[in-house]
Structure 1
Amino acid sequence: MKISIISFTENGAKLSEMISEKLGEQETELFTKCTYFSGIGESVRKIDAPVVCWAGEQMAKGNGLIFIGACGIAVRAIAPHIVSKLSDSPVIVIDEKGDYVIPILSGHIGGANELACRIAECIGAVPVITTATDIRKKFAVDLFAKKNGLFIENKEGIAKISAKVLAGEKIRLSVETGHMDTEEGLPENFYRLSYPPNEKADILITSETRVSGALLTLRPREYIIGAGCKKGKDPEMFSAFIRNNLIKAGIREDQIYALASIDVKENEPAMVEWSQKRKIPFLTYSSEELLSVEGDFSESDFVKSQVGVGNVCERSAMKAAGPGGELIFKKYAEDGMTIGIAKRRWRVRFDET
């Protein structure tokens, strides 16, 4: 995820440079509304557009936002662009002295809380985390879903589950048979129901759409898109290509676990933009890693001469799917783009949350 940092004073701009250096320059873009540029490096770009327009542009790209300045500026800038806690960009505010790092939007699913703690450690600041489940060190179901590659079917259930957790009430859990290896790490007051549940579950985890009715239903992101494309491909054309083939395969976008390709494509604009806009991980592998994937793949001598492996889309999809993965959509090529889709064998764990 690209992180866009905006500052409003010279000290703030200098702090943004330090944060960029600590995080890694490829992760960040620096902007400022400061009119006095003494001592500010060339990496900081001055913008003339209203901050609210800048914020909308960055959030549309799926970028994380850091405001170095007052919380009020950040709140007013992002307010018109907030859509859903399941898709909003993470937003953080830092004072210009770098004393406090405050996540204000998308703390769990967007990763703002985690990013705030990371930045605070880098610059010696205090992370100000206000999420109730975090400060009380309680189970956060939206964070659990993110870490386990699950999508939330009914977002209104998040608050209901969190309220029950914070109140110390029992949480009834039902997981599709064969997809939870161990009960190790199961949070306090959680107990498992049979599957399908013989009573109403608080949390239901299943890929089977015939089973529903829980307070909160989590579905696995089961599919990996393996893709390739010619250098400089138009992002809209690539997006349409992916969308059309997902329709052919009968797969929804919220079922996608990752986009995968070869490492020479890790900075390909069309692929990076598709991934960032949807907050879907973009995984890349070396030609050696792809060659090690076993299976019957459609090989191309030309592709092999260019990148060292004769099939990128199918092999990368299967590599990302891991053990037990299955290729369910064979290679399809069109106008310099290729796609293959694999289905992963999903599992949930509580001891990693």
Structure 2
Amino acid sequence: MKLRLIAFTDRGMVLAQRLAAALDGQAARCGAPLSLSQWTGEAFAKADGLVFVGAAGIAVRAVAPHLKSKATDPAVVVVDECARFAVPLLSGHLGGANDLAKRIAAVCGAQPVLTTATDVNGLFAVDEWAKRQNCAVLDVPRIKSVSAKLLAGVPVTLCSPWPVAGTPPKGVRMGTDGDFELTLHASDHGALRLVPRIAVLGVGCRKGTSAQALEEAFDRLLHSSGLCAQAFGKVCTIDLKKNEPGLVSFCRDRGLPLESFSAAQLREVPGDFSASDFVESVTGVDNVCERSAVRGSGGTLCWRKQAGGGVTMAAAVAPFAPDWRWNDE
């Protein structure tokens, strides 16, 4: 978690620096040199968590102009300068503010003040569980429906193609008609969709291929495979292509890390791949996209080579073993 902290007094700055050292964050004093609004705007855009060491009202007014969605807003926590209370203000579950407040409390002895309904009632929090299982949440408004059922004492059902280790929390059961589901596919059955980020995109491309051409190829792959874009956690290719401007730009725009392998490493990947004599003559290996997807995932190929516009793409999925952990208790 990229963490930024701001303080307003000498005493608060001492605490901010202490927390920054313990939590690997960056502490700043308001006005030195950035104003509160400047600091908040920059931190809100670049950090995963913001900590205000001071009054809650200051933090509320500072972050208000930047609020967009609980799916994307960073965690925001307020700590009083005497380190008595750590209060999550924003993105308690998906953004990790509740966990951040607990981590702050462990460092300075503050009392974490959690106000999210599921937490105060000791109930399963589906959005926090999704975060713990490294899942993207596609239908954020549906979180409320799942939580409302639990708060009303009505059981909720998870539909999952993967077994989930452990014992389901109180009020949660497995079934085929779910209130929430684990899925890699874009199809919508009305349930809250939680998408494990376990897919790997393997890419091969001609020299000079544009980011736009790669976007179009990716759209075609998503359409033909039915896979959800949020399922992809990284892009893999051969080392000959790792500095291709279009590919680098595509990955940056998508927020996906780019990993590359040598021809020798790709040749070692076991499996049945779509071989090409031409590709082998150029790269030293008979297939780039399928082999790099499998190599990068450590799993299995789920969508074979799709070619067009000077681009080849394939998809593989990493092993996934979800469990029922959703908090630290």
Q: What TM-score does the superposition give when structure 1 sets the normalisation length? A: 0.67
Q: Is the 8 A contact 1:148 1:347 kept in 2?
A: no
Amino acid paired to 1:60 = A
Shift of 1:72: 0.7
Contact 2:304 2:314 in 1 (8 A): yes
Q: How does 1:1-353 map to 2 (within 5 A)?
A: 1-24=1-24, 28-33=25-30, 46-49=32-35, 51-175=36-160, 179-182=161-164, 184-194=166-176, 197=177, 201-210=178-187, 212-214=189-191, 216-225=192-201, 243=215, 246-247=218-219, 249-250=221-222, 254-259=229-234, 318=294, 321-324=297-300, 342-345=315-318, 347=320, 349-353=322-326
Q: Distance in 2 between matches of 1:218 and 1:65?
A: 26
Shift of 1:9: 1.1
Q: Name the CA shift for 1:210/1:154 in 2 (closer, same or farther; >3 Å).
A: closer
Distance, in Å, in 1 between the alignment partners of 2:281 and 2:91 is 43
The verdict on how the C-alpha distance between 1:54 and 1:185 changes in structure 2, with shifts beyond 3 A counting, is same
- Going from structure 1 to structure 2, the CA distance change for 1:253 and 1:181 (only over 3 Å counts) comes to closer
What SS does the aligned partner of 1:103 have? strand
Q: What is the CA-CA distance between 1:93 and the residue it aligns to?
A: 0.9
Q: Residues of 2 paired with 1:218 and 1:141: CA distance?
A: 9
How far apart, CA to CA, are the structure 2 residues paired with 1:142 and 1:254?
19
**Residues 82-124 of structure 1, C-alpha deviation per residue, up to 9 Å, x if partnerless?**
1111111111111112222211111111111112212221223
Q: Which secondary structure state, in structure 1, belongs to the residue aligned with residue 92 of structure 2?
A: coil
When the two chains are superposed, the root-mean-square deviation of aligned CA atoms in Å is 4.4
* Aligned length, in residue pairs: 303
Q: Distance in 2 between matches of 1:86 and 1:316?
A: 31
Long gaps (5+) in structure 1: 35-45, 228-237, 303-310
Distance (Å, rounded) in 1 between the aligned partners of 2:212 and 2:57: 38
Q: 1:16 is matched by which residue type in structure 2?
A: A
SS at match of 1:250: helix
Whole-angstrom distance in 2 between the partners of 1:209 and 1:350: 23
Matched residues, percent identical?
34
Write the distance in 2 (CA, Å) between the matches of 1:47 and 1:248. 48
The one-letter code sitting in structure 2 at the alignment partner of 1:70 is A
Q: Matches of 2:62 and 2:288 in 1, distance apart?
A: 41
Q: Does the CA-based 8 Å contact 1:203-1:217 persist in structure 2?
A: yes
Give CA-to-partner distance per residue, 1:279-336, whole Å, 9 cap, x none.
x68698999xx7886567989999xxxxxxxx9998875455233355756999x9xx
3-state secondary structure, aligned to 1:12? helix
Q: CA deviation at 1:76?
A: 0.7
Once the two structures are overlaid, the 10-residue window that deviates more, 323-332 or 60-69, is 323-332
Q: Note the alpha carbon deviations across 1:167-190, whole angstroms, 9 max, x for none.
A: 221213333xxx222563222233
Q: Aligned AA for 1:202?
A: D
Letter in 2 for 1:204: E
Q: 1:182 to 1:218 in 2, by over 3 A?
A: closer
- The AA in structure 2 aligned to 1:344 is V
1:142-176 deviation line (CA, Å, top 9, x unaligned): 1122223333232221112112112221213333x
Q: Secondary structure at the match of 2:159?
A: strand
Q: Work out the CA distance in 2 between the residues paired with 1:281 and 1:33.
A: 33
Alpha-carbon contact 1:174-1:203 (below 8 Å) kept: yes
| Cα deviations by residue, 1:226-268 (Å, 9 ceiling, x for unpaired) | 79xxxxxxxxxx9879756633543788524423689xx9xxx
Q: Distance in 1 between matches of 2:162 and 2:213?
A: 35
What SS class does the counterpart of residue 185 from structure 1 fall into? coil
- Cα distance, 1:104–1:128 mapped onto 2, change above 3 Å: same
| Counterpart-to-counterpart distance in 2, 1:16 and 1:299 | 56
Q: TM-score, normalised by structure 2?
A: 0.71
1:5 is displaced (CA, Å) by 1.1
